[in-house]
Structure 1
Amino acid sequence: MILRKWIACTLILVLLFSGGFSGEAKAENHAAFHDVTSTFWAAEAIHEMAKIGVINGYEGNLFKPNDPVTREEFAALLAKTFNLDQPASSPTFSDVAASRWSYAAIESAKDYFPGYSVGSGAPYFDPKAEATREDVASALVRTLGYIDDQQHESILHAFRDAADITPQLRADVALAARKGLVSGYENGTFRPKATVTRAETAAILYRAVYGPIPDSTSDSALKRPSYSGITDFSQAVGWYGTVSQSADPNRVIEGVSSVSLSTDSEHTTTAARVQNLALDLSEAQNLMLRLHVEDISRLSKIEVRLSSTSNMAAYLGHAHTRWQLVQGWNEIIIPMDKFAPSGNETFENIMTTLQVSVTQRGDLPVTVVFDALYRDHGGRGKVMIQFDDGWESVYTKAYPMMKEKGLVGNIGIVSNLVGNPNYAKLDQLKEMYADGWDIFNHTANHPRLTSLTEELAEVELSSAKAFLMRNRFTRAADYMAYPYGDFNDSIVDIAGKYSRFARTITPDFEVDSPINPYRMKAIELVNDIDPAVYQEAIRSAADHGTTVIFFLHRIEEAGDDSIILHTDDFQAFLDYLDSSRDEVDVVSISEWYKTIEN
C-alpha cells in the first residue's frame, strides 16, 4: 500500500505509518511488497497488517522491512491498530505541535506510550528518535490493559541481557513476553535498547491482534488441586465386560493407574468394583468423580453405586447421562441426596463396595476411564452470566437491570454483526466494558463451525479475536463460546490456538479450574424457563463450591422464540440470584480468571 500526502502543494511520499492520521492521505492497495518475499520471516504479518490498512509502504511498492521505526511512527501505528481516541486537549509535548502529521496519534497514545519529563517544564516526546524494543513491548501491554504482575518477571531470566532492561519497564516487558507479543533472539538476548525495525513492528502488532495464545494446549487436563480422596481406582477389578488397568499418562491424574471400562456386543454395560472399603459417608456433602470419555457419541450413561454389602444386594446409585458429559476429561459433583436407594440401603451404614459402570449407546461400543473418586468438594460458589450473539436488548434491558443490583455480566459478540439492526453498537459495548462487563469471542459470523473447512473455521475465530483486540476488549478476548454448541476435535484444536477457555451448551457445573477447558459446561436460560432450574443450580453452586455458567441471548418484553427470555422472567432470576449473594459470587470472566489463577 502506498501512502501519498500533500504538503505545501508538493506531492511527497512518506513512510507509511502516518496514514489515517492525515486528512490528506490517500492509499492504493497492492497485493505484495516487492522487497518482502513469501519466504521472508515476517511476510505473513506484513501482508495481513497491510491488508487491514494499518501499515503501508513506499513508492515503487517497497516496504523496506529492515528500516528503523521512529517513536512518532510507532505512536501512529499504535493509535491506528487499536482505534485509540484522540483526547480533546491542547498539545501535551513541547516538541509536537498541533500541525505535526503525527500529532493526533501521539496525543491518542500518550497514556500508553508516554514522553519524557524535564524538571518542571513541559514534557517532550522526541518524535524522530528511533523506537526501541522495550518501548514497543511496554506500550503494547499498556494499550491492551494487561496488568503488571511481578511474579511473571521470572520469564526475563531467559534473556542473557535482562539486566539491560530499564527498571521501570521490566514488568511490562515480562508481560509482553508472557503474552507472546515479543520474544528474544537465537543467541539468548532481548536487546531492549535496540531499534525496532519495520518488519519487527509488523510482526509484533500482528501477534497482538491475530496471534494464537502462547503455549495453549487444547486437549489436556489442567493441573488439579488436592482433594480428599476415596479411591484412585488402582484396586478396581472387573465385574463384567472388558475391564483393565491403564497406566497411560494421558489417562492418569491421581495415582499410578486408572481403570478402563469398555463395552462390546456381548456386554453393552461394563462394570468394575472396588471392594473392602470402609467409608463413613453419613456426614458427607458430595462426591466428586473424575473420568475420561473416549467418544461421547457412543455413550449412553455412567453410573456410580455404593453398598454396605459385598454382593450389593442393596445399594445407593446415581447415573449421569451423556447429555451432562463431554468428550475427554470430566469432573462431576454428585450431591449425596442425588443417590437413589435400591433396597433398604442408607448412608448411615458403612459403605464397603463401590461399583462404576458404563452403558453404551445403541450398538456402539464405548470406553470410559475412571481416574479417581473424592468426597466433600467445597469452596465459594460462583455464578457467571453470559449473553451470546451480542443482541442490543442486552444493552437496553439486561445491562440496566443488572446494574441496578450491582451485577456484571459477559457478552459474546459476533464481530461482523456489531452495529447491525437489533445488535449492540460498538459504543454500547464500550460503555458496558468500561462498567466491568467482559466481552468474549463468539466468532465473526456465527456459523456452525463443523460445517466449515478448518481454514475457514480458524478465520472465524482469529478475525473475531482481532476485533476484540483492536477495540481493546482484552480482558476476556481469550474466552469463546461455540455457536450452536457445535464443535468437534478439530474445532477444539483451533479454539486452543485463540482462547484459553471455550464454552459448550452441555448442561452441568464446572469444578475450578475446569479440567476440560475447551469443553466447559453451562446451563441455558430459555423462554418460559421453570425457575426451579436456576434456583437448584445456584443452590448447588453455593452448597458444593462449583461454578455455574448461565447463558442466554435476548431479553424482551414478549416473544415466542426460544432464545428470548422475557423481562419479567429475567427479573425473577436476578432477584433470586441477588438473594443468594451471601453464598455465591457473581463474577465476570476476568474476575473468574483471577479466582482460578489463585
Structure 2
Amino acid sequence: MGKFKKFSLKKSLLVLGMFITVASLFLFFREYINLKKVKANNNAFESLSKWENGWKLYSGQNTSMNIDASTNSVELSTDGTSPAFIRNNNLNEDFSQYTGIKLSLNVLKPKDIAKISIYVSNDTKFTNYAVAGINQNSMLVGENFLSVGKSGFTKYNNFNWNEPIKAVQIRFETVNNTPAKITINKLYSLTHNKGKIVFTMDDAWDSQYTVAYQLMKKYSFPGTIGVITSATGGTKLNIAQLEELQNNGFKIMGSILVANLLFTHMVIIQQKL
C-alpha cells in the first residue's frame, strides 16, 4: 500500500486559496457578461434605417438632408440659425414588446452640438409624444450610440407606449448658432434581458449585519456572506445574527478547520432581483 502523504496546513491553505481565486474569477466574468445583455432587434424599426423610405426634412431652409446609399446613412446639417430635424410619418408600429430605442450616429465636432434628440409619437402631428436626448458632455468624436429605455423618455400629453407608434423624429441643435452636421447610421428597437446581480460580503464582520443587511432588507435584496466558522462573535457576526440572515434569504458560505485537514463547503447562489 502506498503511504498517505500529509499536507501541511500552509499547503492546504495555498491550494484552497488558488481554488477560490479561480472560482471567483469565473463567477465574476460570468456575471459581468450576463449582467446586462442587450439585443438590438430590427423587427420594429428595420424599415426606418432605410432612409430613403419615408424620411423627410422638416426643418427650415437653412438645414439639409443628404442620403448616402453606399453607406446607408443620412447626413443632417444646419447653418446654425435653426435646429435640423428629419421625420418619418409613415409608421404604424406595435412597440409594446420592446424596451427601448438605440440610435447610431457620427459626430465630427461635439463641441458644436448642444443636443441630439429622438421623438416618438402616437400621431403624425406629434400631439402625444415622448422625447429623449443626449447632451454635448456625453458625446464623443466619431461614432456615438444613444440607447434609451422607455423609462428614459419624457412623455407629453397622452402618449402611451402600448399604442402604435405613428411617427419618429430625429433632431439636433447647435451651440451659439454654429454651423454643424451629424451623420445618422441606424435606428434600432431594443429588448433588454433582465440583469442579474450578486451581493457578496467576506469574513462576516458585524457591520455587514448592522449596516449592509439593514439597508438591503429595506429593499428586499438578498445576499451571500462568507463566514470563518472558527471566528464568530465580537467584531464578527454571531450565530443568532447568522441565523436571522439565513432566515431572511441570505446564503452563508462557511469553512471549518479540523486538525490538519481543511474541509470547505461553498454554496454559491445567484440571487435574482
TM-score computed with the length of structure 2 as normaliser: 0.52
Aligned-partner residue type, residue 163 of structure 2: N
Please tell me whether residue 339 in structure 1 is matched to residue 158 in structure 2: no
Which of 55, 79, 97 pairs up with 1:264?
79
Cα separation, partners in 2 of 1:352 and 1:328, compared to 1, 3 Å? same
Please tell me whether residue 246 in structure 1 is matched to residue 67 in structure 2: yes
* Equivalent position SS for 1:376: strand
Aligned-partner residue type, residue 304 of structure 1: I
Work out the CA distance in 2 between the residues paired with 1:581 and 1:288: 29
Cα-to-partner distance string for 1:150-191 (whole Å, 9 max, x where unaligned): xxxxxxxxxxxxxxxxxxxxxxxxxxxxxxxxxxxxxxxxxx
Matched residue, 1:365: 179
Matched residue, 2:35: none
Cα separation, partners in 2 of 1:403 and 1:346, compared to 1, 3 Å? closer
Gaps of 5+ in 1: 1-224, 384-401, 406-579, 585-598
Contact 1:263 1:358 in 2 (8 A): no
Please tell me whether residue 232 in structure 1 is matched to residue 232 in structure 2: no
Contact 1:305 1:318 in 2 (8 A): yes
Work out the CA distance in 2 between the residues paired with 1:358 and 1:302: 4
The count of residues paired between Structure 1 and Structure 2 equals 161
Equivalent positions of 1:286-435 (< 5 A) are 286-378=100-192, 404=202
* Equivalent position SS for 1:282: coil
* Equivalent position SS for 2:58: strand
Contact 1:237 1:273 in 2 (8 A): yes
Cα separation, partners in 2 of 1:339 and 1:262, compared to 1, 3 Å? same
Work out the CA distance in 2 between the residues paired with 1:319 and 1:226: 19
Cα-to-partner distance string for 1:71-125 (whole Å, 9 max, x where unaligned): xxxxxxxxxxxxxxxxxxxxxxxxxxxxxxxxxxxxxxxxxxxxxxxxxxxxxxx
Contact 1:278 1:351 in 2 (8 A): yes
Aligned-partner residue type, residue 56 of structure 2: V
Higher strand share: 2
Q: Identity of aligned pairs, percent?
A: 19
Aligned-partner residue type, residue 260 of structure 1: E
Shift of 1:264: 1.4
Contact 1:243 1:272 in 2 (8 A): no
Aligned-partner residue type, residue 245 of structure 1: N
Equivalent positions of 1:57-456 (< 5 A) are 227-229=41-43, 230=45, 231-234=48-51, 235=53, 236-241=55-60, 242-247=63-68, 252=71, 257-267=72-82, 269-378=83-192, 404=202
* Equivalent position SS for 1:240: coil
Shift of 1:323: 1.6
Cα separation, partners in 2 of 1:233 and 1:239, compared to 1, 3 Å? farther
Cα separation, partners in 2 of 1:348 and 1:380, compared to 1, 3 Å? closer
Work out the CA distance in 2 between the residues paired with 1:226 and 1:337: 17
Cα-to-partner distance string for 1:135-154 (whole Å, 9 max, x where unaligned): xxxxxxxxxxxxxxxxxxxx
Contact 1:237 1:243 in 2 (8 A): no
Cα separation, partners in 2 of 1:237 and 1:289, compared to 1, 3 Å? same
Contact 1:280 1:350 in 2 (8 A): yes
Work out the CA distance in 1 between the residues paired with 2:196 and 2:64: 37
Contact 2:40 2:189 in 1 (8 A): no
Work out the CA distance in 1 between the residues paired with 2:177 and 2:159: 33
Work out the CA distance in 1 between the residues paired with 2:89 and 2:174: 24
Shift of 1:360: 0.5
Aligned-partner residue type, residue 319 of structure 1: G
Shift of 1:314: 2.5
| Greater relative CO (CA pairs within 8 A, separation 6+) | 2
Aligned-partner residue type, residue 57 of structure 2: G
Cα-to-partner distance string for 1:345-391 (whole Å, 9 max, x where unaligned): 211221111000011011222211222211124358699xxxxxxxx
Work out the CA distance in 1 between the residues paired with 2:92 and 2:130: 15
Contact 2:57 2:87 in 1 (8 A): yes
Contact 2:116 2:171 in 1 (8 A): yes
Contact 2:40 2:191 in 1 (8 A): no
Cα separation, partners in 2 of 1:305 and 1:582, compared to 1, 3 Å? same
Cα-to-partner distance string for 1:540-560 (whole Å, 9 max, x where unaligned): xxxxxxxxxxxxxxxxxxxxx
Contact 1:233 1:259 in 2 (8 A): no
Shift of 1:243: 3.1
Work out the CA distance in 2 between the residues paired with 1:403 and 1:342: 44
Cα separation, partners in 2 of 1:337 and 1:226, compared to 1, 3 Å? closer
* Equivalent position SS for 1:310: coil
Higher helix share: 1
Cα separation, partners in 2 of 1:325 and 1:282, compared to 1, 3 Å? same
Q: Which runs of 4+ in 1 moved over 3 A?
A: 377-383, 402-405, 580-584
Shift of 1:404: 4.0
Matched residue, 1:73: none
Cα separation, partners in 2 of 1:347 and 1:364, compared to 1, 3 Å? same
Cα-to-partner distance string for 1:224-248 (whole Å, 9 max, x where unaligned): x963250205132100142323327
Gaps of 5+ in 2: 1-38, 204-268
Aligned-partner residue type, residue 68 of structure 2: A
Aligned-partner residue type, residue 84 of structure 2: T
TM-score computed with the length of structure 1 as normaliser: 0.25
